[in-house]
Structure 1
């Protein structure tokens, strides 16, 4: 079940139960975002008013078999509720639809106005004021995420630093395509692994593209499908990874601000008092992970598993991550 007509019919039943028999679903359309799940926007018209909402749904309403590291849409919805209670700006969840229901595996959430495209956020004049405070906003949001009590959360994968080294090295070795920079990175990460921090809830993909930004700053944190229990420095460093600065490399925090400002806001909001140097190891891991992910994307294109131009284009970016890693190692050498 996946046509717009079928989805609209399923939504109509929920709408009538929540808003009344005179309510209707209008302007249902599929959005382009969301690589692994469907995202639909629609409005509920009732009593002369419209309520803008988002449907996040498994493809066809029935999720494929998941790996041990993937989380369900119901778990994503539970994390949105838990992080909202911790003061994190997230869309409010309105309904969770279980597998096998008329709507399929899905949840409905409030629609939040703003922009998600990184290059627009970093360049357009309308976001100038937002850019000035976005590092502080992200620091406070991350502190809220990492402060969520683990007791009471649904079961989540656990992935600390060494777990990720082992996982991505196994994938990399499986390609049988040695890359000297990656070899250096794996060896350095193993030799310089820091003591793990206390495990916390980690978003797993906290970066521009998964953040809604409006004219005043951070409006919402989206896309929790990679959430897990891990080290808080992972989230901070992933935002700093050069691939997610979209050409604004001089601004270490997401292309929009300085890491020192983010860490100050993170600490002020209750997070640990990390130094920029505490993020270095994790940023190197982040660039290496993305490099291996680019290899995965190209392999999917080459084997025919996914012949989209997007997969081929992302696959070509593996060389960018090699340059980023060289720059990171040179930076460490200069500050040694």
Structure 2
């Protein structure tokens, strides 16, 4: 369905809802959004936001739950966009959807964390998010919302991919052995983090993206918010902008009880493992052909970031880093080498194509630049990395990475053993050197500190 046809259908639906003719003056798809589409809708009378499933990948039950949760949160005083309309009939807008009022403010984390305009908002945001989370967790649980064992479900999702991740296996074992007891049960947002917030110069304006809402332990939301992936290079543990103490103080103001730091840390480790599995699962949508997408393919290379964070959070003893050695290019094809060709294409995209676009096309061009940077680094370092990796595995008696992962799950290999730890760290560092060399520099050790 073209944007023009979607605009026509949207105008027709809004005319029905409002009881008078409505004209859609402009419709623009937002950048990002690997699992759902987001469209900005300009009307003569104001602005709306449309979220819908990608056509052909409808999840009507999930969209219906999102609408119910948004309406319940609105009634409970949680700052959320007001729901204008929602539906699961694919004949209306091509797929299930939720249509909300537009809320002014910023959502891009790096702007929120760096720009002076948001300095005052940052100072109080952790406490404000604590209050918002507590209000979510006090919402009466609606009927029919999913409830499952989150750890066992995550392990099952990981296993279904058929691509074992050793550091994630270490986390699974630690999570099982250190699981908190007596967990509470409440409504859980499921994706409560920096990036799913609208913030202006005064503070929090709205909590977005309720597609993963479910029933579970409320501390899951706090742990997810504090996961390193959502700090965007900042050393501050709560979304990159605040302390645990401020988050817990804000939560206690509304809930009447202060969160247990050890439980929140458990959920932080869980969240890091979860994001690693999600990254690999999103890449699988591309690899399987179900949803071909450069963006989804690129996300698959972010798994190693979460492996690095897990080893850091769990205190796996670090070994000295080995230097990255550039592979010798084969002389068959001459110059420019494959890496040099990729670099030239990357520079063309960065210097000429990227500057010519805005909105979603600019975002996709930036993804393409990053993908080519990854390919270039793998062409330069990959052959030598693979040789070293085979030698490291063989020295400890593992045939391949899958065998290492299986031994870690079975308890036959101990991640805190010096040799096994060195193997884990070396392979993660090599993968990061290709996928994102800057990530290790921006990672801070997790834990309970403020």
Structure 1, residues 282-313: CA drift from partner, whole Å, max 9, x if none?
11111111122223234444444454332333
- Residue aligning to 1:317: 302
* Residue 327 in structure 1 maps to residue 316 in structure 2: no
- Residue aligning to 2:54: 59
2:133 to 131, 142, 145: 142
CA distance in 2, matches of 1:328, 1:297: 24
- Residue aligning to 1:195: 181
TM-aligned CA deviation for residue 80 of structure 1: 0.8
CA distance in 2, matches of 1:11, 1:26: 11
- Scaled by the length of structure 2, what TM-score is found? 0.65
CA distance in 2, matches of 1:103, 1:182: 39
Contact 2:79-2:132 at 8 Å conserved across structures? yes
For the residue of structure 2 that corresponds to 1:269, the secondary structure is: helix
1:257 to 239, 242, 250: 242
TM-aligned CA deviation for residue 178 of structure 1: 4.4
Structure 1 pair 136/166, CA: closer, same or farther in 2 (3 Å)? Answer: same
For the residue of structure 1 that corresponds to 2:191, the secondary structure is: coil
Which structure 2 residues correspond to residues 180-219 of structure 1 after superposition, within 5 A? 180-219=166-205
- Residue aligning to 1:72: 62
TM-aligned CA deviation for residue 100 of structure 1: 4.7
The answer to which of 85-94 and 326-335 deviates more is: 326-335
Q: Which has the larger radius of gyration?
A: 2
CA distance in 1, matches of 2:193, 2:217: 16
2:116 to 103, 120, 125: 125
CA distance in 1, matches of 2:17, 2:155: 49
Contact 1:71-1:156 at 8 Å conserved across structures? no
Which structure 2 residues correspond to residues 73-88 of structure 1 after superposition, within 5 A? 73-88=63-78
CA distance in 2, matches of 1:21, 1:334: 55
Structure 1, residues 137-160: CA drift from partner, whole Å, max 9, x if none?
11011001100011xx2421113x
The answer to which of 267-276 and 214-223 deviates more is: 267-276
CA distance in 1, matches of 2:281, 2:220: 21
The answer to which of 226-235 and 18-27 deviates more is: 18-27
CA distance in 1, matches of 2:22, 2:239: 42
CA distance in 2, matches of 1:4, 1:16: 18
CA distance in 1, matches of 2:177, 2:299: 30
For the residue of structure 1 that corresponds to 2:314, the secondary structure is: helix
Structure 1 pair 183/63, CA: closer, same or farther in 2 (3 Å)? Answer: closer
- Residue aligning to 1:273: 258
- Scaled by the length of structure 1, what TM-score is found? 0.86
CA distance in 2, matches of 1:312, 1:215: 35
Q: Which runs of 5+ in 2 are unaligned?
A: 316-444
- Residue aligning to 1:224: 210
CA distance in 1, matches of 2:82, 2:126: 23
TM-aligned CA deviation for residue 30 of structure 1: 2.0
**Structure that is richer in strand per residue:** 1
CA distance in 2, matches of 1:209, 1:20: 35
- Residue aligning to 2:41: 42
Q: Which runs of 5+ in 1 are unaligned?
A: none
- Residue aligning to 1:112: 103
Contact 2:74-2:80 at 8 Å conserved across structures? yes
Structure 1 vs Structure 2 CA RMSD: 2.5
CA distance in 2, matches of 1:334, 1:55: 38
Structure 1 pair 218/102, CA: closer, same or farther in 2 (3 Å)? Answer: same
- Residue aligning to 2:87: 97
The aligned length equals 319
Structure 1 pair 309/82, CA: closer, same or farther in 2 (3 Å)? Answer: same
CA distance in 2, matches of 1:332, 1:112: 33
